[in-house]
Amino acid sequence: MYALAERAVAEGVFPGCAFGVLEDTRVALLGSAGRQTYQETSPAIDPDTVYDLASVTKVAATTAMAMLLYQSRKLNLDLPVVEALPGFTCGQPNRVQVTVRHLLAHNSGLAGYARLYETYSSPIELFAACECMPLEVPPGTRAEYSDIGFILLGRVLEILAGESLDHFCARKVFAPLGMTSACFRPNDRAVISPTRASIPPTEDDLVFRHRVIQGEVQDENCFVLGGVSGHAGLFGSVMDLLRLSAEILHPSRLFTSETVRLFATRVGQPAQSSRALGWDTPSSPSSSGVHFSTDSIGHLGYSGTSLWIDLEAACAVVLLTNRTWPTRENQKIREFRPLFHDEVRKSLLSETHGA
């Protein structure tokens, strides 16, 4: 894995990366390669480096919150979104059919993405635009990975919990699992927050913020929303995600086995969708490579992050990078991710057979 990661740095897949492997209850590997940027004077990456997790937020924070609220019976998965967000109706009768389950499964009928930050400059305005985003198809008829849906989902969960997403997750998810680096808006935390300089920059933004994006969320819609949202905004390290993975594989502190199974099961609506509740599952081809079983769940992040958990093999793989540095045009990680996961799984298999 180290040689593969070093070669990826040399080939410009990303300037640096941190990675880790959980095998059952054992951390089998923690490693890193490269630097924060391609400059030789840039700080080196180590296994504890904190990254902008981007859309891995959707599972490590938002879905985890949904799982806990479901267990405590504060969340009914079939709750119509309009009951929590009356503004979601927007004069369209068919919107009453959209449920929390639809938002989790990315089959609500909402658009996947919109550059709302170009028009709206305040959290209230941008969220109101999300509420009134028109349905493109009837709920349940199309799988469309949707940031808009998860922005709405995050707010629904906050209403049900009576607490903000970041505060709830800090108390109920991160602290109990020892996810000590996991946080939203890291520079707002005075005690144990990683410093701005210690977090790899994600982009030299020449279009919107006109500055290097470092220590603040890269996603522009999340930025306008104040850095906390259901779809993005979480920062964390490899060990943070491995600790969450351990709880998914062996539920004890937070979740029940029944809850994990429910959220890890493909929704099957529409039939070809790979989506479970919040989580994705391997499709063909998959960023998880060819060795993760069909009983696997995971998620990717736009900045170059990923988490895959194989429930059958009881293992998890975390890969954190800032592949978007200095610009978003670099797509080389699409080829690297499956190669990396294949190398990890082959290594684990060889260790098992050699034992």
Percent of the chain predicted with pLDDT > 70: 97
**Per-residue model confidence (pLDDT) at position 355:** 45
**Per-residue model confidence (pLDDT) at position 284:** 87
Say yes or no to pLDDT of 191 above 50. Answer: no
Kind of pairing, strands 211-213 and 203-205? antiparallel
Residues contacting 29, CB < 8 A, separation 6+: 1, 19, 20, 21, 344
In terms of Cα–Cα distance, which of 121, 119, 124, 149 is closest to 230? 149
Rounded to the nearest 5°, which phi and psi values hold at 266? -55, 135
Contact 184, 199 (CB under 8 A): no
Contact 301, 54 (CB under 8 A): yes
Percent of the chain predicted with pLDDT > 90: 91
Kind of pairing, strands 26-34 and 211-213? unpaired
**Per-residue model confidence (pLDDT) at position 350:** 72
In 3-state terms, the chain is what percent helix, strand and coil (to 5)? 40, 15, 45
The pTM (predicted TM-score) of the whole model is 0.96
**Per-residue model confidence (pLDDT) at position 26:** 95
Contact 281, 302 (CB under 8 A): no
Report long-range pairs for 284-288 (Cβ below 8 Å, ≥24 apart): 285/338, 286/338, 287/334, 287/337, 287/338, 287/341, 288/317, 288/337, 288/338, 288/341
Mean pLDDT (the chain, rounded): 95
Q: Which helix (H) or strand (E) holds 42?
A: none
Determine the average pLDDT of the residues in 66-90: 97
The residues pairing with 30 across neighbouring beta strands, listed in sequence order, are: 20
pLDDT digits (tens, 9 = 90+) for 200-255: 999 999 999 999 999 999 999 999 999 999 999 999 999 999 999 999 999 999 99
Q: What angle do CA 292, 240, 315 make, to 5 degrees?
A: 20
Residue type, 240: D
Name residue, tokens 């082959």.
346
**Per-residue model confidence (pLDDT) at position 354:** 53
Q: Does domain 2-349 have CATH number 3.40.710.10?
A: yes
pLDDT digits (tens, 9 = 90+) for 112-147: 999 999 999 999 999 999 999 999 999 999 999 999
Token digits for 300? 């990717």
Cα distance between residue 251 and residue 244, in whole Å: 10
Residue type, 170: A
